[in-house]
Structure 1
Amino acid sequence: MKKSAPKSAAAKPAKKAAPVAKAPAKKPAAPAKKKSAAAEPPATFISAQIDIGFGNHLTLRGEGPGLSWDKGLVMDNVGHSLWTASINKATKPVTFKVLVNDLTWSTGPDFVIEPGQSITVYPNF
């Protein structure tokens, strides 16, 4: 009697794979909350009406966001004798003085403005 060759693995019937259980669908992440415009305080606007001569500029020094008593914030010249600056994120009153060329201080008391307000000052030197 002849021995038959062992059956190869290919000849064996394949086992049925167990059904794959699907993982539950992931919930989409909630979108990041954007800061609303109401969360940030409105800008505080400061204008100075004065003719300081050609080639000069005005600066602000004081207490408030972006201000210091040691170095001036340059104001923008937006028209004849009109200078402006905006202070963002002020939550307390802003106290300031106006300077010509960041050297000559305006006379009189400090100016004070509430956050989110606008003011036009007429400084004297």
Structure 2
Amino acid sequence: MIHIKPFDYIFYRIATSKFYQKLDSKTPYIWAFGSLSFCQLCNVLTIIGIFQTIHGKNILSIPNLSMKIGIPLGVFNILFVTTEKKYRWLIEKYKNEENRTLKGWFVISYVTISILTFLIITDFCL
């Protein structure tokens, strides 16, 4: 099993959040997959947007690029990060974790910053 610790943990915390548990208690890991993939896509597009802004060229179209990056990223996440087997394993691994609240704020910050920086940088690139 491949372990990408920060993304594993973010996936685990999103999947076990009360919001996703209420939304779909049987398969919250599927909802967490979508949320994590969206944040990762925002990160990649933000980095590309920063390079485009620095170089003063709009070489790549963000809407077209999002499909070209989003599909392989989603496939990668399905294969290595967001499987039900990994979800069960992460529940066991983190059931008695320390500093749960602080780590929860890390996850909330990651999601918020990912989306906000993407929105800000796309305002410059589009």
Smaller-chain TM-score bracket: under 0.3
Compute the TM-score of the two structures, normalised by the length of structure 1.
0.21
- Answer 1 or 2: which has greater strand percent: 1
| Structure having the higher Rg | 1
Compute the TM-score of the two structures, normalised by the length of structure 2.
0.21
